[in-house]
Amino acid sequence: MSHHIVEVKNLRHVYADGTVALDTVSFRITHGESVAIIGANGAGKSTLLQHLNGCITATSGEVFIGHIPLTRNTLPAIRRTVGMVFQYPDDQLFMPTVFEDVAFGPRNQGLPEELTAERVREALELVGAAHLASKPPYHLSGGEKKRVAIATVLAMSPDVLVMDEPTSGLDPFARRQLMGLLREFHHTKIFTSHDLDMVLELCPRTIILHEGIIMADGATADIFANDHLLAACRLEKPFALQGCPVCRTSTN
């Protein structure tokens, strides 16, 4: 299906205070691809992701989801296609209980109550948060909030999964669990991360963003082999490629 193609053409975003967060960004992500967007703090990653389901409007340029241009009219359909996990889970959780919060999306999609409950249970199970269902979200730990925030999006069964730093704040076990979950998700997925080892494991393709410009777009292995490029973009190799810290031997 061409449904899950994500295409960005000459996207430019200037914030109200004059900050140029994105400058002529273009790329095309085809169905089933798994792509990481990496870059230093303030590189424009979150800004870019927010364009993918029209949370913010571009200064210029276009976004296409499954060949449909993102406009005011197509917005509801696109938001049903693209599931977005935001960087700060606090912004995403606002209902009185975790269950209600995860049910918010499916209910908006008009699902009947039994199906909603089922979806909610499944989604919470997937992120290992089933035991939190009746807790209020504001009483959760940071990582628990993050997992619930991910569940809120999974419950809507999106065709394209977009995540802003999904593993930040997760404990090693939850991180593994999430990585397993992402591997299982066979539709298009796009995420930003500072967790370069996860990028190496999950994403065959990587895009490096630096000061609002795409510095590299290609195979993850090639990009992490390019020391010059990484240094220029305030990045470094994943630990898995850096060699053993104890015996000081290098793997390559």
Partner 1 sequence: MNAITTAVIDLKQLELFAQGDTQVHGRDARVKVLVTLFFILSVISYHRYEINGLLPFTLFPIIMVCRAELPIPYLARKMLLICPFILLIGAFNPLLDRSTLWQVGSIEISGGCISLLSLLLRSFLTIGAALILVATTGFTTICQALERLGMPEVFTVQLLFLHRYLFVLAEEAERASRARELRSCGSTGRGIGSFGSLTGHLLLRTWQRAERIHTTMLSRGFTGQFHGQRRERFSHADLTFLISWSVTFLLMRTMEPATLLGSFITGAFP
Residue 27: CB minimum distance to Mg ion, A: 18
Pick from ligand ATP, Mg ion, partner 1, none: which does 108 bind, CB < 5 to 8 A by kind?
Answer: partner 1
Residue 211: CB minimum distance to ligand ATP, A: 8
| Contact (CB, 8 A) for 90 and 73 | no
User: Residue 211's Cα: distance from chain center in Å?
Assistant: 19
Distance CA 175, CA 181 (A): 10
Looking at beta carbons only, is 78 or 223 nearer to partner 1?
Answer: 78
Binding mask 38-57 for ligand ATP (x = CB under 6 A): -x-xxxxxxx----------
| Contact (CB, 8 A) for 82 and 32 | no
Count residues near partner 1 (CB under 8 A): 31
Tokens 């090693």 — which residue?
Answer: 172
SS3 state at 72: coil
Among 46, 53, 116, 193, indicate the residue that binds Mg ion (CB under 5 A): 46
| Contact (CB, 8 A) for 87 and 32 | no
193 is an interface residue for Mg ion by CB under 5 A: no
Residues 29-68 binding partner 1 (CB under 8 A) are 50, 53, 55
Residue 192's nearest CA partner among 44, 89, 13 is 44
Candidate ranges 8-16, 98-106, 171-179, 220-228; the one touching partner 1 (CB under 8 A): 98-106
| Contact (CB, 8 A) for 187 and 161 | yes
166 is an interface residue for ligand ATP by CB under 6 A: no
Count residues near ligand ATP (CB under 6 A): 13
Pick from partner 1, Mg ion, ligand ATP, none: which does 53 bind, CB < 5 to 8 A by kind?
Answer: partner 1
Residue 209: CB minimum distance to partner 1, A: 21
Sorted by sequence, the CB contacts under 8 Å of residue 118 that are 6+ apart come out as: none
Q: What φ, ψ does residue 151 adopt, rounded to 5°?
A: -60, -35
Q: Checking DSSP bridges between strand 82-85 and strand 205-210, what pairing results, if any?
A: unpaired
Distance CA 155, CA 115 (A): 10
What does the binding site for ligand ATP look like in residue numbers (CB under 6 A)?
15, 17, 19, 21, 39, 41-47, 87
What does the binding site for partner 1 look like in residue numbers (CB under 8 A)?
50, 53, 55, 76, 79-80, 82, 84, 86, 88, 90-92, 94-97, 100, 103-105, 107-109, 113, 134, 136, 138, 152-153, 156
